[in-house]
Amino acid sequence: MKSCVYKLLYLICFLLTNFAHSATLVGWSSMGLNTYTAGPFSQHLASGTWAPPSSQIIGGFSAAEKAADGSYIYLIDTGFGPKSASYSSLLGLYNLKIDFNDLQGNDKNTKVSKLIRFNDIDNKLNFPKQADFEFYGNNPKNNPVDSIIKKGKLLTGGDIDPESFRVDYKGNIWVGEEFGPFLIKFDQTGKVLRQQISIPNITSPENPLLKAGDIPTIKTTAGLEGMAINPQGNKLYPMLEKPVIGDAEKTLRIYTFDVDTEQFEEGYFLYQLDGNATEIRELVAINDTEFLTIEQNESWGDASTQVKKVYWLSIAGVEKNGYVKKRQLVDLMDISDPVDLDRDGKTTFAFSKLTIESIVIVDKDTLLITNDNNFGERTEFIKVRLNESLNLQHFSSPKLDTNEWESRDRNYYAWQGYHTYKLEWVNLAATLLILIFVTMIAASKIRSKADGAYHWTILSIIILAFFLYNYLSLYFYATQSFRDLFIDSGLYQNRGPLQRSIVMAVAVATLMLLFSLIFYFKNKHTKYTMAVICIMLGLKGTQFVSYHRIDNITEYLIGIGRVFDWLESIFILVLFFAVLHDRNANR
């Protein structure tokens, strides 16, 4: 009943405010700035940015599509701006689970559940890539290229700058990128299928094939920003972000590419930017002749200077080299938000982000729009309900199936190298207090030359090692070394069964050691403390070997997230009582 009342109030607010705005906010979610997932350490970051080892920061979303299961798939761009800052930033597609805020005031968020990494394992691209070098940027002053990048021929932000992607009727993935600019063809596993395709007579300053004396025809970051595909899935419409040098001011080109012949058609359509807009950020097809794009300028801060708008455009009846028809559809700086879905205390919403780069047409009345956070702000996902319905046509290209993609069983939130939550702050503080307590006992026994000084000293060293491993960067370095061992042994792609076997071995070894400590260990000084430490090390060993997949398993079986963190809290408490017992037992 309460839900119905909320929905009725929402409908009334929608009708009252609809006349004044071109769209209404019907869904809002976000992803934190410092969100990471496992992967090779990002050696090159934006100035002042830090990431934990064995991790990749999540963000930089530049295009999106629906997945087969109704979730959404996002493309990540080069990384931290120029090539030189993005050599180790892995590229690919992220499967996102977006949970939008609801009308009852419950705040939701977004997380990555699966991903694929782009790779050129068959060496189809005919220019040097980071995987071909010993050092990032082919510069000995930089860090060595990570072994997983070299062995998997993974593509990074030092190789290409993906800004758009579409799936053709055959199921192939086409990516439009800016450095060439090139069109690059991938299969659904992320593998490059053929040599890159250049746009006729278009070259950027970052083109890896540029020779001495060659003059670029577009400026930096002016390449293939948007790309649509027709409903039949056999024609792509790549669009340049900014004008070609020598073209009319504020005039952009929209090309036509035939998927079957893999050739660009002769000529192009022209698009005229409005007012203070300086570039486009997206192109998505509604039907055979109608499209949506985003015009914007890169103003940030003062809302009055920002241009962020969705435009409708049409090529119906337009000859090649002619200007398309267009009109404004949504002002993203002036959206109705009658029930304050973004929780800012206002009934209007302004999508005040530096770059807004992706549109997904959810249905004929609804758009999902997302910003590229440029690794300097939160990523926001907004659903807007249009005042007018789109003439949406059925698209025949298959949706991407993510069943075989690599699962991401956790996203990391970094603090000094440690993915921390509120519970883990408690664990950290409690472990530190126990470490101080045990060290004081050891120091007291050493000073008094009492019996057991040796045992308490060894115990304090063990707890210190546990503390450093668990709460500082050592966990990430250890995991990376373990991963590299799999890679060097050629076992990384099929590591699952071996990992499960090692986990079982760790569990059996822990139980055997625990049994020995309790029933056969005669030491009266640290007997029960060592037994509890044994269990805790077994838990950490299981997490380490399984890359934390054990957390996902226990969550599935028990229904409680991050079970091992709760177990760790319990055993830290038990450890405290064990220390008290052992101290009192040998006074």
* Digit-coded pLDDT (tens) for 218-230: 999 899 999 999 9
Half-sphere exposure (Cβ direction) of 376: Cα atoms closer than 13 Å: 10
Quick one: pLDDT at residue 322? 97
With b for 16 or more beta-carbon neighbours within 10 A and e for fewer, the 86-123 pattern comes to bbbbbbbbbbbebebbeeeeeeeebbbbbbbbbbbeee
Q: How far apart are CA 313 and CA 328, in angstroms?
A: 9
Quick one: pLDDT at residue 48? 46
What DSSP element (H or E) covers 251? strand 251-254
Quick one: pLDDT at residue 1? 52
C-alpha distances (whole Å) from 248 to each of 239, 244, 543 are: 16, 8, 59
Q: Can you count the helices (H) and strands (E) in the chain?
A: 9, 29
pTM equals 0.72
Walk along the chain (587 residues) and give the pLDDT tens digit of each residue.
Answer: 555 554 455 444 544 444 456 799 999 998 877 677 766 655 555 444 445 555 677 888 999 999 998 899 999 998 777 788 888 888 999 999 898 886 665 667 788 888 899 999 999 999 999 999 998 899 888 878 887 889 889 999 999 999 999 999 999 999 999 999 999 999 999 999 999 999 999 999 999 999 988 999 999 989 999 999 999 999 999 999 999 999 999 999 999 999 999 999 999 999 999 988 999 999 999 999 999 999 999 776 666 788 999 999 999 999 999 999 999 999 999 999 998 888 888 899 999 888 999 999 999 999 999 999 887 788 999 999 999 999 999 999 999 999 888 876 444 433 323 333 456 667 778 888 999 999 999 998 888 888 888 889 988 998 888 887 776 655 555 665 666 666 566 665 566 677 677 777 777 787 888 778 777 677 778 888 888 888 888 877 776 666 545 555 555 555 544 566 677 788 888 889 989 888 887 66
Quick one: pLDDT at residue 266? 96
Q: Quickly tell me which residue has 């702000």 as its tokens.
A: 377
Quick one: pLDDT at residue 414? 34
Q: Name the token pair of 325.
A: 């028809």
Q: How far apart are CA 515 and CA 343, in angstroms?
A: 54
Compute φ and ψ for 21, nearest 5 degrees. -130, 155
Quick one: pLDDT at residue 129? 96
Over residues 124-181, the pLDDT tens digits come to 999 999 999 998 899 888 878 887 889 889 999 999 999 999 999 999 999 999 999 9
Quick one: pLDDT at residue 53? 52
C-alpha distances (whole Å) from 417 to each of 45, 148, 506 are: 15, 21, 25
